[in-house]
Copies of this chain bind each other. A is one copy, B any other.
């Protein structure tokens, strides 16, 4: 006997596709001046969010998005059976301190910037499997907490190479339900680690691109679809370099990704915003999906989206010990 919901090698198809009944995004001032500014639920005036450290500010973004998503789903925290959450900080403190403020059983995740889609995929499985009525999935990231943890404290003023990306300051949360109105998660494809040897902490797009392509290709093979089945294929935070690499891998391997493939890291900032290669961070795919993509889906612009969370599992201590950066990508098919 094979597990009944599996199709192909890495994909599952949901019997009763879980519905995204609530979603919210809270962002910082830079994101609030970008091209998607009108889509976000909340824009903070500064990156400290009236608190005393960037880490404390990050969890305020998370709490804001979580609270709003639950409200917009017309639920209370007590109606939610699981909170699946993570972020980029060591010991995922933004997620954990947000979980502490909510009376919801908590499942901590770490998938670097892929975490929003890791949560959506697992959340959909928990609902379709009959284990939960409602699941809250959420993520956060913050430019200044990420820079000082993974690269250099911003106060140091180290020059950023053009390959570097700008970590999105903000948080996103989505409520999944067994029933209701809204976009539905029909399939999930959990990715494998792909590591082609990129070791540069300022070029995460290149580190993630091979994993993103691997998961896109596997999803299409497993479902028997070609890229044109989707109105949009959108990766989480590959930005300029990674996006171009995925298209190039497509050309080499006979997958046409020239027409309907984009990346959240290309959508969230304007080229005038001095973000070099583009956006990144857990919140990049989070707020672009919760704020923009699903809004446009509900407005009728898109019917079928394949979204991917893309993670560069970069670790300063592993880098110092000579290691390269493993990449991962998880895909979720959303239809409305």
Residues of chain A having any CB pair with chain B under 8 Å: 1-6, 10, 12, 52-53, 55-56, 81-82, 86, 89-93, 96-97, 99-100, 103-112, 118, 122, 125-133, 178-179, 190-193, 195, 313-318, 321, 323, 326, 328
Contacts and interface: CB of A to CB of B under 8 A. Distances in A.
A91 B133 contact: no
Contacts of A122: 107, 122
A3 B110 contact: no
6 contacts: A5-B129, A55-B318, A108-B118, A108-B313, A108-B328, A122-B122
A143 to B, nearest CB: 16
A99 B316 CA distance: 18
A170 B254 CA distance: 45
A153 to B, nearest CB: 12
Contact of A96 (B100, B127, B130, B193): B193
A131 B195 contact: no
A5 B125 CA distance: 13
A193 B99 contact: yes
Number of copies: 2
B131 A318 contact: no
Contacts of A89: 315, 317
A222 to B, nearest CB: 11
B132 A129 contact: no
B326 A97 contact: yes
A208 to B, nearest CB: 13
A333 to B, nearest CB: 15
B178 A3 contact: yes
Contacts of A109: 107-110
A190 B82 contact: yes
Contact of A317 (B5, B55, B326): B55
